[in-house]
Amino acid sequence: MNVVTCIAPINIAVIKYWGKRDDDLILPVNDSISTTLDKDHLCTKTTAMASSDFKEDRMWLNGSEQSMDNPRLQNCLRELKKRAQISEEMQNWKLHICSENNFPTAAGLASSAAGYACLVTTIAKLYKVEGEVSELARVGSGSACRSMYGGFVRWFMGSDPKGSDSIAKPIVPVSHWPDMRILILVINDSQKKVSSAQGMKRTLMTSELIKYRIDKILPTKINQMQQAILNKDFESFAELTMKDSNQMHAVCLDTYPPCIYMNDTSHLIVDLIHSYNATSSKIKVAYTFDAGPNATLFLLEKDVPEFVSVLDHYFPSIENINIEYKKGIAIETILPSKNLLEKINFTKQTAGKLKYIIHTRIGNGPEQLSDCKSHLLNSQGLPVASLITNC
Amino acid sequence: MNVVTCIAPINIAVIKYWGKRDDDLILPVNDSISTTLDKDHLCTKTTAMASSDFKEDRMWLNGSEQSMDNPRLQNCLRELKKRAQISEEMQNWKLHICSENNFPTAAGLASSAAGYACLVTTIAKLYKVEGEVSELARVGSGSACRSMYGGFVRWFMGSDPKGSDSIAKPIVPVSHWPDMRILILVINDSQKKVSSAQGMKRTLMTSELIKYRIDKILPTKINQMQQAILNKDFESFAELTMKDSNQMHAVCLDTYPPCIYMNDTSHLIVDLIHSYNATSSKIKVAYTFDAGPNATLFLLEKDVPEFVSVLDHYFPSIENINIEYKKGIAIETILPSKNLLEKINFTKQTAGKLKYIIHTRIGNGPEQLSDCKSHLLNSQGLPVASLITNC
- Is the pLDDT at B54 greater than 70? The verdict is yes
As a whole number of Å, the CA-based R_g of chain B is: 21
On whether residue A319 sits in a domain, the answer given is yes
| Same structural domain, A79 and A106 | yes
Q: What is the pLDDT of residues B358-370, one digit of tens each?
A: 999 999 999 999 9
Query: What per-residue confidence (pLDDT) applies to B191?
Result: 72
Taking Cα atoms as reference points, which of A270, A288, A289, A264 lies closest to residue A199?
A289
| Same structural domain, B151 and B108 | yes
| Same structural domain, B266 and B138 | no
Residue A3 contacts residue A42 (beta carbons within 8 Å): no
- Is the pLDDT at A1 greater than 70? The verdict is no
* A245 near B CB under 8 A: no
On whether residue A266 sits in a domain, the answer given is yes
Domain total for chain B? 2
Ramachandran angles phi, psi of B281, nearest 5°: -85, 5
Burial class (CB in 10 A: 0-12, 13-18, 19+), A243: buried
Residue B209 contacts residue B253 (beta carbons within 8 Å): no
B191/A264 touch (CB, cutoff 8 Å), yes or no: yes
Q: Please state whether beta strands A326-328 and A354-361 pair in parallel, antiparallel, or not at all (unpaired).
A: parallel
A257/B274 touch (CB, cutoff 8 Å), yes or no: yes
* Mean of pLDDT over chain B: 94
- Is the pLDDT at A260 greater than 90? The verdict is yes
Tell me the chain A residues in contact with residue B286 when contact means C-beta distances shorter than 8 Å.
none
Q: What number of other Cβ atoms are within 10 A of residue B219's Cβ?
A: 11
- Is the pLDDT at B346 greater than 60? The verdict is yes
Give the helix ranges, DSSP H, for chain B: 71-82, 88-91, 112-126, 134-140, 196-206, 209-212, 218-230, 234-253, 264-277, 304-314, 338-343
**Could you tell me what percent of chain A has a pLDDT over 70?**
96
Mean pLDDT value of segment A350-354: 94
| Same structural domain, A196 and A170 | no
**How many secondary structure helices (H) and strands (E) does chain A include?**
11, 17
Q: What is the pLDDT of residues A188-234, one digit of tens each?
A: 777 778 899 999 999 999 999 999 999 999 999 999 999 999 999 99
| Same structural domain, B122 and B192 | no
A270/B257 touch (CB, cutoff 8 Å), yes or no: yes
* Candidates A192, A212, A239; nearest CB to B209: A212
| Same structural domain, B57 and B73 | yes
User: Which residue would you say has higher pLDDT here, B188 or A225?
Assistant: A225
Q: How many residues does chain A have?
A: 391
* DSSP string for A347-359: PPPPTTSEEEEEE
* A68 near B CB under 8 A: no
Query: What per-residue confidence (pLDDT) applies to B390?
Result: 47
Distance, in Å, from the CA atom of B237 to the CA atom of A383, rounded to the nearest integer, reads 58
Tell me the chain A residues in contact with residue B347 when contact means C-beta distances shorter than 8 Å.
192
| Same structural domain, A151 and A268 | no
| Same structural domain, A170 and A185 | no
Torsion angle of the four alpha carbons B302, B305, B309, B315, in this order, in degrees rounded to the nearest 10: 90
Residue A351 contacts residue A319 (beta carbons within 8 Å): no
Mean pLDDT value of segment B156-166: 96
SS3 content of chain A, % helix, strand, coil (to 5): 35, 25, 40
Owning domain of residue B356: 180-361
* B267 near A CB under 8 A: yes
What residue in A sits closest to B257 (Cα-Cα)? Answer: A274
Q: Closest approach of chain B CAs to the CA of A321, in angstroms?
A: 29
* Candidates B209, B274, B347; nearest CB to A250: B209
Q: Which of A100-104, A150-154, A162-166, B157-161 has the lowest mean pLDDT?
A: A100-104
Mean pLDDT value of segment A364-385: 93
- Is the pLDDT at A390 greater than 50? The verdict is no
Tell me the chain A residues in contact with residue B247 when contact means C-beta distances shorter than 8 Å.
208-209, 253-254
A256/B263 touch (CB, cutoff 8 Å), yes or no: no
What residue in B sits closest to A206 (Cα-Cα)? Answer: B243
* A212 near B CB under 8 A: yes
Query: What per-residue confidence (pLDDT) applies to B389?
Result: 46
Determine which of B16, B198, B239, B264 to mutate to test the interface with A (most A C-beta atoms within 10 Å). B264
Residue B264 contacts residue A264 (beta carbons within 8 Å): yes
Taking Cα atoms as reference points, which of B384, B369, B379, B354 lies closest to residue B183?
B354
Within a 13 Å sphere around the CA of B375, how many CA atoms are in the beta-carbon half? 19
* A279 near B CB under 8 A: no
Residue A109's CATH number: 3.30.230.10
A208/B247 touch (CB, cutoff 8 Å), yes or no: yes
Determine which of B16, B18, B210, B212 to mutate to test the interface with A (most A C-beta atoms within 10 Å). B212
* B263 near A CB under 8 A: yes
- Is the pLDDT at A386 greater than 70? The verdict is no
**Could you tell me what percent of chain B has a pLDDT over 70?**
96
| Same structural domain, A197 and A135 | no
Q: What number of other Cβ atoms are within 10 A of residue B104's Cβ?
A: 12
A257/B263 touch (CB, cutoff 8 Å), yes or no: no
Q: Closest approach of chain A CAs to the CA of B239, in angstroms?
A: 9
On whether residue B388 sits in a domain, the answer given is no
* Candidates A217, A253, A264; nearest CB to B263: A264
Angle at B49 between CA B47 and CA B55, to 5 degrees: 130
At residue B288 the predicted structure's pLDDT band, cuts being 50, 70 and 90, is very high
- Is the pLDDT at A107 greater than 80? The verdict is no
* Mean of pLDDT over chain A: 94
* A263 near B CB under 8 A: yes
- Is the pLDDT at B391 greater than 90? The verdict is no
Distance, in Å, from the CA atom of B315 to the CA atom of B308, rounded to the nearest integer, reads 10
* A257 near B CB under 8 A: yes
On whether residue B142 sits in a domain, the answer given is yes
Taking Cα atoms as reference points, which of B183, B359, B191, B349 lies closest to residue B272?
B349
* Candidates B253, B264, B270; nearest CB to A249: B253
Distance, in Å, from the CA atom of B293 to the CA atom of A353, rounded to the nearest integer, reads 20
Q: Which residues in A130-147 are b (16+ Cβ under 10 Å) and which e?
A: eeebbbbbbbbbbbbbbb
Q: Closest approach of chain B CAs to the CA of A213, in angstroms?
A: 7
* A203 near B CB under 8 A: no
* DSSP string for A59-96: EEETTEEE-S--HHHHHHHHHHHHT--S-HHHHTSEEE
| Same structural domain, A37 and A96 | yes
On whether residue A382 sits in a domain, the answer given is no
Residue A304's CATH number: 3.30.70.890
Q: Dihedral sign, CA of B146, B148, B150, B153?
A: negative
Taking Cα atoms as reference points, which of B188, B199, B154, B157 lies closest to residue B172?
B154
Q: Which of A120-124, A363-367, B321-325 has the lowest mean pLDDT?
A: B321-325
Mean pLDDT value of segment A21-38: 97
Residue A99 contacts residue A137 (beta carbons within 8 Å): no
At residue B281 the predicted structure's pLDDT band, cuts being 50, 70 and 90, is confident
Tell me the chain A residues in contact with residue B246 when contact means C-beta distances shorter than 8 Å.
253-256, 258
Query: What per-residue confidence (pLDDT) applies to B324?
Result: 86
B246/A255 touch (CB, cutoff 8 Å), yes or no: yes
Within a 13 Å sphere around the CA of B19, how many CA atoms are in the beta-carbon half? 24
Q: Which residues in A272-304 are b (16+ Cβ under 10 Å) and which e?
A: bbbbbbebeeebbbbbbbbbbbbbbbbbbeebb
- Is the pLDDT at B192 greater than 80? The verdict is no
| Same structural domain, B131 and B188 | no
On whether residue B21 sits in a domain, the answer given is yes
On whether residue A381 sits in a domain, the answer given is no
| Same structural domain, B169 and B185 | no
Q: Which of B139-148, B205-214, B319-328 has the lowest mean pLDDT?
A: B319-328
On whether residue B387 sits in a domain, the answer given is no
Mean pLDDT value of segment B260-271: 96
* Candidates B216, B251, B270; nearest CB to A250: B251
Distance, in Å, from the CA atom of A378 to the CA atom of A372, rounded to the nearest integer, reads 10
Determine the 3-state secondary structure of B298 from DSSP. Answer: strand
Beta strands in chain A (DSSP E): 3-9, 11-15, 20-22, 27-28, 32-36, 43-51, 58-61, 64-66, 94-101, 152-155, 168-172, 180-187, 285-289, 295-300, 326-328, 354-361, 367-368
Query: What per-residue confidence (pLDDT) applies to B189?
Result: 76
